[in-house]
Amino acid sequence: FDMKGEDVIVFLHIQKTGGTTFGRHLVQNVRLEVPCDCRPGQKKCTCYRPNRRETWLFSRFSTGWSCGLHADWTELTNCVPGVLGRRESAPNRTPR
């Protein structure tokens, strides 16, 4: 995974597997060059790449339930490119 590149981690939350705890750790406890900005009282954190206002993480804790509650693989595959394109005004590129 290249945080400074174009890759995006899409977190697929599977119920009853510890996914909520793991997802929270991704935004709060992973030591990064630019850590996610998690403010008290807010449910979402801002996880930007170094030197760019683009997200590197697509999860409920960084983008909210953008593709619906507990979206499955098919829903995420169809939804994520459009959501990221709208959020970041990215040129049409193939997501990886």
Q: Are 96 and 47 in contact (CB under 8 A)?
A: no
Mapped onto helix, strand or coil, the DSSP state of residue 84 is helix
Is there a catalytic annotation at residue 25?
no
| Distance of alpha carbon 12 from alpha carbon 33, whole angstroms | 24
Amino acid identity, position 76: L
| Set 4, 25, 52, 70: catalytic member | 70
Residues annotated as catalytic (active site), given as ranges:
70
